[in-house]
Structure 1
Amino acid sequence: MKKFTLFTPGPAEVPPRVLKALSEPIIHHRSQDFREIFFEVREKLKKLFKTKQDVIVFASSGTGAMEAAVANFFCKGDKVIVVNGGKFGERWTQICKTYGLDVDEIKVEWGYAVEPDDVKKALEKNGNVKGVFIQGCETSTGVEHPIKEIAKIIRETRGDDTLFVVDGITAVGVFDVDMDGWGVDILLTGSQKALMLPPGLSMISASERALKFMEKSDLPKFYFNIKREMKAQREGETAYTPAISLIKGLRESLRMIVDEEGLENVFARHKKLASILRNMVEGLGLKIFAKRPAPGLTTIEIDNAEEIRKKMRELGAWVAGGQDKLKGKIIRIAHMGYYTEGDMIYVGNVLKTCITGN
């Protein structure tokens, strides 16, 4: 018999009560039953995002919401700045260029966070910048970028002329990202991380400032049309067929996060889990790869990373490896969402066994 626990930074573990909701009989999406579920989900998502704005739900991976963030708010040829400090920073660049935006990259060494002053200098150098794109947490390296500080710089230096776009896929629900309070214009996330669901849903919200940009956007969009979805979702429906079971599961996970544990307690738990695991890692003489580590995952420098991963999986702990140039050099262990202190002690001890043989 084999049994394993996922400690990967997406997909992450799904609680039994969420699995139960996912397994319930399907209902029709053009019905009052669905509308009641969806209205509840929409209100709880606003609390999760810390916004008064609509939070739009798409049936897609998080990359779908990233594409929507570009296609709905910008025009061909717009000058934008992308903070590229890993695989997902690279993805912002790829999407922006696909849609014909003029991209200036701030390239950050993998494992490091961007310096806010570097963003300020890029804004000064480029003049008429329409958007700044960044990850709240760069999942490929485990780094947390200084979102609050950068938002302050953009608002103070650019006013309403530049949108701040944050990929919060491993940030929203993991640590504090105050969309309205900090002045983030576009914030997005996915279902398979802190929201404790299988992959398949993405969510995105836009500030009033961003909605004004949306009226002028000339880029093509069909499925990821936020204006169309906003109209439908305010009525408790979606423009196209939604992922009904995932939305039912999302209602259950949001009840756990927002109503029962509470956001601030969730954030504190993630910090504590990170601390427990990192103390165990450092006790083994290993180094944390991220120089500004995010609370949702721990990246560990290991020479024979793929061999260690394989051994850990054989012992029931499924962890992630490095991507691209970090493949074989790091392992990534998640502690966002449905994890406890005991889970961290367990995975830490599995790591110890695989490293020391004891």
Structure 2
Amino acid sequence: MYENILRHPGPTPIPKKVQLAMSQDIFSHRSNEFVTLYRETMALVKPIFGTKQDILLLPSGGTAALEAAAVNTISAGEEVVVVTVGAFGDYFVSICERYGFHVHKLVKDWGEACTAEELRPFLQAHPQIKAVFITYNETSTGILNPIADLAKVVHEETEALVIVDGVSCLGGAPAEMDAWGIDIFVTGSQKALMLPPGLALVAVSDKAWQVIEKNQTPSYYLNLINYRSWAEKGMTPNTPAITLIYGLHEVCKLIEAEGGFAQTVARHELMKQMVRSAMKALHIELLTEDAYASPTITAILAPKDIDLAAFLAHLKNRYHLDFAGGLGHLQGKIFRFGHMGYCFPSDILQAVSLLEAALQDFNYTFEAGAGVLAAQQVFLAAQR
């Protein structure tokens, strides 16, 4: 049997060392062994967020952490702004509307980022807002919003909290929570953090804690004050995903072994450039412009005159290369090339080579080897 070559935006491949770490014996989540594991792991994770704040662990998917960020800070009837540039920005809208918040949506076309120049007048028109919800990396379109610039504008124009979805990029993109003024930063385990699904991580600023302490949250399981209280004891309020915490500890060690988080970020940036250069050499259009392109996922338009669904199925069935399709109105129009977490330049060269083979099967006209050569040239230039 061939292994599936998973080049998705999540779940993503898991390193063998992480798999082995997760196979260790289970112990009680109320034991001294767990307290040691928890505290060591949470200290190691802080550089990935760029924060001195404690990290909270939720035994959940990333969406639950997004909901926790909303319900712990905002009450029904209060005004918020949601910046939405794709499907996952729309998630934030749905969560906020479900809890009865008064939502002002700043909507961009899918494939475009939101700029500070666009956000500023929108905020000025809504002076009563309590929070601004922003997706850092929009998985559905491969956009990386300029989160530092957006957070700065929010703080210049309002007293609102900046709440950021970093689910599909934390661990592979620059993150300076404290320096950028992010108040709640959320991510999940199954993407750039190289773990199976089932663990969410939340970092909260001092300013956000002051708001949370005054807010009458209706949530029990997602009550962040409860998580903070238990974190002070080196535990979680409910039974945690102990095996995933084992794995997260090992992930942090792998990042250290790579040379630190800056090197991990540089690898993701390099892979992004390799993929984009390859597609351009093959005359396949990209959904996003270079300036706001994600370092963890690239959205690629269907090659000309090719039935995308048939093409993706052929890639998976014949070459065992598994890309993600488009979401929403982009379904059937784009595919998404994930290059995050346990992924390296050699993996990019492999995927581009197999993509070229499938293009030949579909009689797509291009210069054979052009994509691989372009990606290889980007890689070699980075080694000089």
TM-score by length of 1: 0.97
- What's 2:310 paired with? 307
The equivalences for 1:89-100 within 5 A come to: 89-100=89-100
- What's 1:146 paired with? 146
Task: Give the partner amino acid of 2:316.
Answer: R
Which whole-Å CA distance do the structure 2 matches of 1:304 and 1:25 have between them?
Answer: 48
- What's 1:298 paired with? 298
Which whole-Å CA distance do the structure 2 matches of 1:89 and 1:146 have between them?
Answer: 15
> Out of 349, 354, 357, which is 1:350 matched to?
354
Contact 2:113 2:143 survives alignment (8 Å): yes
Q: 196-205 vs 118-127, which deviates more?
A: 118-127
> Out of 276, 279, 282, which is 1:281 matched to?
279
Task: Give the partner amino acid of 1:255.
Answer: K
The question of 1:328 aligning with 2:332 is answered: yes
Deviation, 1:260, is: 4.3
The question of 1:49 aligning with 2:49 is answered: yes
Q: Over residues 71-118 of structure 1, what are the superposed CA-to-partner deviations in whole Å (9 max), with x where a residue is unaligned?
A: 111121111000111110100000001111100001100000012122
SS in 2 for 1:187: strand
The equivalences for 1:65-214 within 5 A come to: 65-158=65-158, 161-214=159-212
The question of 1:317 aligning with 2:315 is answered: no
SS in 2 for 1:299: strand
SS in 1 for 2:337: strand
Contact 2:258 2:264 survives alignment (8 Å): no
Deviation, 1:46, is: 1.6
Contact 1:66 1:92 survives alignment (8 Å): yes
SS in 1 for 2:222: coil
- What's 2:381 paired with? none
Task: Give the partner amino acid of 2:339.
Answer: H
Task: Give the partner amino acid of 2:48.
Answer: L
SS in 2 for 1:331: strand
- What's 2:218 paired with? 220
Q: Over residues 172-215 of structure 1, what are the superposed CA-to-partner deviations in whole Å (9 max), with x where a residue is unaligned?
A: 11111210001011100000011100000001111111111101
Contact 2:142 2:288 survives alignment (8 Å): yes
Deviation, 1:356, is: 2.1
Contact 2:217 2:223 survives alignment (8 Å): no
Q: 300-309 vs 17-26, which deviates more?
A: 300-309
Which whole-Å CA distance do the structure 1 matches of 2:223 and 2:6 have between them?
Answer: 34
Which whole-Å CA distance do the structure 2 matches of 1:265 and 1:70 have between them?
Answer: 33
Contact 2:48 2:175 survives alignment (8 Å): no
Q: 256-265 vs 63-72, which deviates more?
A: 256-265
Deviation, 1:52, is: 1.2
Deviation, 1:352, is: 1.1
SS in 1 for 2:17: helix
Deviation, 1:171, is: 2.1
The equivalences for 1:21-36 within 5 A come to: 21-36=21-36
Deviation, 1:219, is: 3.1
Contact 1:75 1:216 survives alignment (8 Å): no
Contact 1:76 1:218 survives alignment (8 Å): no
SS in 2 for 1:172: coil
Contact 1:18 1:252 survives alignment (8 Å): yes
Which whole-Å CA distance do the structure 2 matches of 1:219 and 1:76 have between them?
Answer: 10
Contact 2:174 2:265 survives alignment (8 Å): yes
- What's 1:13 paired with? 13
- Structure 1 unaligned residues grouped into runs of 5+: none
Deviation, 1:311, is: 1.5
Deviation, 1:258, is: 4.0
Contact 1:44 1:258 survives alignment (8 Å): no
Q: Over residues 297-349 of structure 1, what are the superposed CA-to-partner deviations in whole Å (9 max), with x where a residue is unaligned?
A: 11100052222211121211111000111111111011111111110001111
- Structure 2 unaligned residues grouped into runs of 5+: 362-367, 369-384
Task: Give the partner amino acid of 1:331.
Answer: F
Contact 1:54 1:206 survives alignment (8 Å): yes
Which whole-Å CA distance do the structure 1 matches of 2:79 and 2:168 have between them?
Answer: 26
SS in 2 for 1:126: coil
- What's 2:375 paired with? none
Contact 2:61 2:200 survives alignment (8 Å): yes
SS in 1 for 2:125: helix
Which whole-Å CA distance do the structure 2 matches of 1:219 and 1:231 have between them?
Answer: 16
Which whole-Å CA distance do the structure 2 matches of 1:283 and 1:17 have between them?
Answer: 36
Deviation, 1:274, is: 1.1
Deviation, 1:246, is: 0.7
